[in-house]
Structure 1
Amino acid sequence: MTDAAIETVDPKAVRRASLVRLATGLAQGLLLYGLYEAGERKAWPAIHPMLFAAIGLAVLYAPFVVLAGASSLRLRTLAVWKLGAVIVAAGLSAYDIWVATYYRHAGDYTRILPDPPVFCAIAAVLFIGHHLVQPADMERRPIARFATYFDVTWKHGVQLVLSLLFTGAFWLLLFLAAQLFKLIGIDAIQRLIEQEFFSFPATTVVFAAAVQLTDVRANLVRGVRTVSLTLLAWLLPLMALIAGGFLASLPFTGLAPLWATKAAAALLLVAAAFLIVLTNAAYQDGSERPAAVLAWAARAAGLLLAPITALAAYAVWLRVTQYGLTPERVIAAACVVVAAGYAIGYATAALRRGAWMKSLETTNIAMAFVAVGLLLALFSPVADPRRLSVGDQVRRLERGAVKAEAFDFLFLRFDSARFGREALDRLKANADPVVARRAREAGAMKERPYLRDPKPEPAARPPRITYYPKGEVPPKGFAEAMRSMGSDSNCLQAGATCEARLVDVTGDGAPEVLMTNRWALEVFSQSPTDGWRKIGVYTTPCEGFDFTAAVREGALEATVPAVRDLAGPSGTLRFLPELKTCPPKIEPVQKP
């Protein structure tokens, strides 16, 4: 169904879809809460990591198939596709847990949830897969028209964003309500929203309701989509200009600065992705030719995509031939394959005569299938990047392409899961004694050491204290006592700069050490039993009192307090003056 189609809304179908979506959201929330509690209590199925991951990801993702297809897919297609979603989510997540766990290494942490890339991969597979299934089911043929793919995919993309925003706004309102009621002493709402038995079902039901609300207002969703794509489309000329300028500069700069970034392939692939997305924003469903500027920019982007993808492929090939495969390079190579497919198709569309960029449609549909296949291969045993990387790196070691001293045994131990640790076990029996020894050392490690020796911390600079009058020296034993008092004094900490003067402030005939860092005046006194210690600090309520000048000039004199302390049966009562008298502040006279 395209934008131009006239939609008829069946009230019974709307009610049926509403009930299905709300029931699905409620069931998903309750199941997620049950899994959360099992994980917290370490109860079944959390005691079986692979099973827990499989159930958890299936419960998380499979309901989205129902939410997206409840009003469009036939019941049989929906059931089969939901089963497929469960198999994909459960299989990929269970496989990730299996790969990450190698029970022959005691003490290794066993995860119960997959790594974040697995979450993203499952979401991508199901999103792309759903938008290959639903249009085909709507038109009752294996491959639908491109206009239907475009309409359904972008409609659901906008629905997803709007539903997430609606769910976020729902929670913001709940938090606002909780704070408002707390102002009048009612914290029931705060306690409620902090409970998982409420937060899980509430989130999923509200999200399901948002999907239903946006689904019955499909024309409004398409309006938002059209505005968004139009705005994106007008970025295409700028992107084409950037890509063209970059490629035109290469003959003058050479490739060395590009390789020096050590991220050339990633940056080039990001540029290719922008060209692809913005070209599609300009083309949309192909029913209308855009403005001439956008039309020519789309053709230019289709041609520029090829050299940018070729440079990305060359960058990946250089790193692989020099240093072998790593998981990142395997994923980069897969991205290059996808980008190359788009580059060939878009260049053909740009050069072919006839309807403007028409063959772009075939390219988009074909590359959607390729992307799903690559994602499934990369996150399954078929082409697991860790397995491929371990095999390649070990072969390089065994044929002498890399010496044992330069080989990254830590990659096998910590970065390649089961495959790397199994390879370490095999290398422990290697005929080369250096390889065997280093494999045993790496296998025995429980945590990754520093990749390089950390730089030694610079020696702490001792405090610098100047005694006044000039030439005065600290009392006997004070310098030695400073080392144990450093944490109790601002002036005795490493790197401090202070001024000091000897003044008898206790009246016992022996001078105390008065020391200032400009903000207060610390007092150190010597006791026959405890030795030197800090006994207190002088402060002032008056602004602008210069402690440093007072110490330097010796303008300090012990005085008898106007109000003495009181001795009581439970200790001494200290007098704290209520009135704080300060000298008048003299403002500087401004010259006329």
Structure 2
Amino acid sequence: MSPKEQDRTILLDRVAMAVLGTAAGVSFWLLVEVLPDTDVHPRLYLAVFALAAVFFGVALALCGPVSILRAVAAALAVGVPSAALLSLAGLRFADAADIARSPPTLMMFIIMVSVATPFLAVWLQDRTSWRRYPDLFDAAWTITVRYLAAWLFVGVAWLVLMLSNALLGLVGVDVIENLLDVEPVPYAFSGLVLGIALAVVHELRSYLSPYLLLRLLRLLLPVVLLVVLIFIAALPLRGLSSLFGDFSAAGTLMGVTIGAITLITIALDRDNGLAVHTPLMRSATQVLALALPVLGALALYAIVLRVTQYGWTPDRVFAAVCATFLLAYGVCYAVVALARRHWMDRIRRVNVTLALVLIAIAALWMTPLLHAEKISTGSQIARYQSGQAMAAQLPLWEMDKEWGKAGQRGLARLEELDSDGALAPMIAAAREADSKYALENLQNVALGQARVADLIKVMPVRPEGETLRASDLAAVHVTVVERWYQACSASLSDQAPSCVLVIGELDETGERQGMFFAQVEGQNAFVELISLGQGDQSWARNMYDLANTQRAFVPDGTVARILSGDFRIGPSRQKALFVGDMELVPDN
């Protein structure tokens, strides 16, 4: 091909990619900004959005290695069944748009398409070698680097555009700003730049190859191996009980496992000629492969513990599937790494096989055969029926808002099982709340009102003749009410009351205030002040002892003294409550 013909081919490829990128940008403008405001059916919208995302994402990835026409045809062939699967998953929800509240399903959709794309790229170039590892390795990393470089250029292009707009604005020229105000232009500009960038990166593939990135990432393998070995060595000393604490141990373990698998794959490269060849790096790669089953097994065990405690949720089903798959990876890697001959080639074959299995699992997730929301709903109902979970421990809001039709049917089933009526107000609150935060507020109000009635029954009030009404504590925060109730419910060794509320006025506002004393066995009593009958939410305040010029530390027997009437409210340097030698005022 002559230089002139070569230049013409390059120009045509750039124009084609620019057109495809611009079409992608305009399409997403229509999908994001226009169609949601129309009467398009939500299920049709979901199918079109999924088709557009897969079609343009795959087509832009394939263009260059294959002709644009073949890339577009292949992207369409992948996009239609993918969109159909996501639409099938959307049937789990009364409103197809609610699938956006199911991150596991969206993640499985992305995994399915992303892992399948390198197979498609190789198949389009040679239909007989679509499982050939060197070609798959090159295709996967080439697509990754092309997209990373192209999106980086999109960011730079937007920075230049913004700076140019600011510079022209200094002389009163606002042509760029006016142009960007036209609705589709920002989307079209991003798509245009992305398409051109992908074309240029492909042209310079001999200069901008994945191998620089891969060589740099190899340097991390010994570091990760050292950290993993220290972790495994520390396990017998620390024990498993301290390993699975409040943080997400399973997420951390799975993240490290994925990183280790990636580094091993990078170290082995496309073939033995390019793989790590020094004895140190080869040994490090083998040892890291042998450590993978430990990480995978611990991740799965952490999820099993969580499920045992709290039951299944869609997120935990997703995590369990991922952990099981990573454990399979680890076991296969470890078994193969034990072999002295051809272990690298065997790991590469394992990668191809497990990648195909991953595509199948991701596709299965979106069918009724692996219905995470249905599994989770059945688990939570079973926990309630068996007494493992009380009403307040059930994920009622998630069942109504995030678990689709299965979750809503589960709520109806729980209503049938609600023999004592404890669930009814909580389910009603879950259906009413727009967010989990709003639900917690509604539940706190409901629980607080119930606990106030319980508290009034067990809490003595002084002076004699004073009465405490539910309205007096209506604005007191639920955590304060619960703390007081627990304190009053505790019995002392002599069966004497463990709490008392002194009602009076300790400032010039004239509002009623309550000073709450609680005696804990073997410890000093604590005292707190609350304003009674206030409209705004009230928290308890500490008391200050003017006699001892310190925060009040109330000695044993104080509750008994107050109950016997040995106290008075009177003036001091300010109005105070006198109990023995103490002179108690609000701690400001």
- More off after superposition, 443-452 vs 48-57: 443-452
Task: Tell me by how many angstroms 1:161 deviates.
Answer: 0.3
1:227 aligns with 2:212: yes
Paired residue type of 1:197: P
Task: Tell me by how many angstroms 1:138 deviates.
Answer: 2.2
Name 1:312's counterpart in structure 2. Answer: 299
What CA distance in whole angstroms lies between the structure 2 residues aligned with 1:34 and 1:431? 47
What CA distance in whole angstroms lies between the structure 2 residues aligned with 1:405 and 1:36? 38
What CA distance in whole angstroms lies between the structure 2 residues aligned with 1:368 and 1:140? 18
Paired residue type of 2:440: Y
Task: Tell me by how many angstroms 1:319 deviates.
Answer: 2.1
1:67 aligns with 2:55: no
Match of 1:271 among 237, 244, 256: 256
Paired residue type of 1:71: G
Change (3 A) 1:75 1:190: closer
**Mapped contact 1:341–1:363 kept (Cα < 8 A):** no
Give a deviation string over 1:188-238, Cα, whole Å, max 9, x none. Answer: 21121233221111111110111111111111121xx21211111111111
- More off after superposition, 436-445 vs 328-337: 436-445
Task: Tell me by how many angstroms 1:186 deviates.
Answer: 1.0
1:417 aligns with 2:380: no
**Mapped contact 1:404–1:435 kept (Cα < 8 A):** yes
Q: State the SS of the aligned residue for 2:350.
A: helix
Task: Tell me by how many angstroms 1:435 deviates.
Answer: 6.9
Task: Tell me by how many angstroms 1:379 deviates.
Answer: 4.1
1:144 aligns with 2:131: yes
Name 1:527's counterpart in structure 2. Answer: none
Task: Tell me by how many angstroms 1:69 deviates.
Answer: 2.0
What CA distance in whole angstroms lies between the structure 1 residues aligned with 2:59 and 2:398? 41
What CA distance in whole angstroms lies between the structure 2 residues aligned with 1:92 and 1:355? 39
**Mapped contact 2:18–2:192 kept (Cα < 8 A):** yes
Name 1:395's counterpart in structure 2. Answer: 382
**Mapped contact 1:93–1:114 kept (Cα < 8 A):** no
Task: Tell me by how many angstroms 1:278 deviates.
Answer: 1.4
Q: Gaps spanning 5+ residues in structure 2: where?
A: 446-475, 481-507, 510-588
Name 1:283's counterpart in structure 2. Answer: 268
1:162 aligns with 2:157: no
Pairwise mapping of residues 46-125 of structure 1 onto structure 2 (< 5 A)? 48-73=41-66, 78=71, 81-95=74-88, 97-101=90-94, 120-125=107-112
Q: State the SS of the aligned residue for 1:450.
A: helix
Change (3 A) 1:388 1:442: farther
Change (3 A) 1:113 1:14: farther
Q: State the SS of the aligned residue for 1:196.
A: coil
What CA distance in whole angstroms lies between the structure 1 residues aligned with 2:60 and 2:113? 13
Paired residue type of 1:90: A
Name 1:27's counterpart in structure 2. Answer: 23
Name 1:371's counterpart in structure 2. Answer: 358
Q: State the SS of the aligned residue for 1:358.
A: helix
Give a deviation string over 1:275-320, Cα, whole Å, max 9, x none. Answer: 1111122221132342222111100100010111111122222222
Change (3 A) 1:433 1:69: same
Name 2:528's counterpart in structure 1. Answer: none
Task: Tell me by how many angstroms 1:79 deviates.
Answer: 5.6
Q: State the SS of the aligned residue for 1:220.
A: coil
Task: Tell me by how many angstroms 1:88 deviates.
Answer: 4.7
Q: State the SS of the aligned residue for 2:64.
A: coil
Name 1:190's counterpart in structure 2. Answer: 177
Task: Tell me by how many angstroms 1:10 deviates.
Answer: 6.6
Give a deviation string over 1:535-583, Cα, whole Å, max 9, x none. Answer: xxxxxxxxxxxxxxxxxxxxxxxxxxxxxxxxxxxxxxxxxxxxxxxxx
What CA distance in whole angstroms lies between the structure 2 residues aligned with 1:441 and 1:161? 47
Name 1:466's counterpart in structure 2. Answer: none
Match of 2:115 among 116, 128, 137: 128
Give a deviation string over 1:5-40, Cα, whole Å, max 9, x none. Answer: xxxx97676555444323322222232333344246
Task: Tell me by how many angstroms 1:356 deviates.
Answer: 5.0
1:43 aligns with 2:38: yes
Match of 1:259 among 244, 250, 273: 244
**Mapped contact 1:20–1:70 kept (Cα < 8 A):** no
Aligned-pair identity in percent equals 24
Task: Tell me by how many angstroms 1:97 deviates.
Answer: 5.0
Task: Tell me by how many angstroms 1:142 deviates.
Answer: 5.8
Paired residue type of 2:274: E
Task: Tell me by how many angstroms 1:354 deviates.
Answer: 1.4
**Mapped contact 1:268–1:308 kept (Cα < 8 A):** yes
Task: Tell me by how many angstroms 1:458 deviates.
Answer: 12
Give a deviation string over 1:424-465, Cα, whole Å, max 9, x none. Answer: 123333373447736753565334421774984999xxxxxx
Task: Tell me by how many angstroms 1:243 deviates.
Answer: 0.5
Aligned length: 444
Change (3 A) 1:431 1:29: closer
What CA distance in whole angstroms lies between the structure 2 residues aligned with 1:429 and 1:264? 37
Pairwise mapping of residues 400-479 of structure 1 onto structure 2 (< 5 A)? 400-404=387-391, 406-430=393-417, 432-434=419-421, 437=424, 441-442=428-429, 444-447=431-434, 448=436, 449-450=439-440, 453=444, 456=477
Give the greater-gyration-radius structure (CA).
1
Q: State the SS of the aligned residue for 2:417.
A: coil
Match of 2:162 among 163, 168, 175: 175
CA RMSD of aligned residues (A): 3.3
Paired residue type of 2:212: V
Q: State the SS of the aligned residue for 1:186.
A: coil
Change (3 A) 1:31 1:375: same
Name 1:300's counterpart in structure 2. Answer: 287
What CA distance in whole angstroms lies between the structure 1 residues aligned with 2:281 and 2:91? 49
Paired residue type of 1:101: A
**Mapped contact 1:412–1:421 kept (Cα < 8 A):** yes
What CA distance in whole angstroms lies between the structure 2 residues aligned with 1:397 and 1:262? 26
Match of 1:352 among 315, 324, 339: 339
Match of 2:201 among 179, 190, 214: 214
Q: State the SS of the aligned residue for 1:141.
A: coil
Change (3 A) 1:443 1:315: closer
Change (3 A) 1:36 1:401: closer
What CA distance in whole angstroms lies between the structure 2 residues aligned with 1:428 and 1:394? 11
Q: Gaps spanning 5+ residues in structure 1: where?
A: 1-8, 104-109, 460-478, 481-592
Name 1:331's counterpart in structure 2. Answer: 318
**Mapped contact 2:314–2:373 kept (Cα < 8 A):** yes
**Mapped contact 1:52–1:112 kept (Cα < 8 A):** no
Task: Tell me by how many angstroms 1:369 deviates.
Answer: 1.4
Identify the structure with the greater helix proportion: 2
Q: State the SS of the aligned residue for 1:219.
A: coil
**Mapped contact 2:22–2:191 kept (Cα < 8 A):** yes
Task: Tell me by how many angstroms 1:58 deviates.
Answer: 2.0
1:245 aligns with 2:230: yes
Change (3 A) 1:116 1:331: closer
Q: State the SS of the aligned residue for 2:206.
A: helix
State TM-score, norm by structure 1.
Answer: 0.68
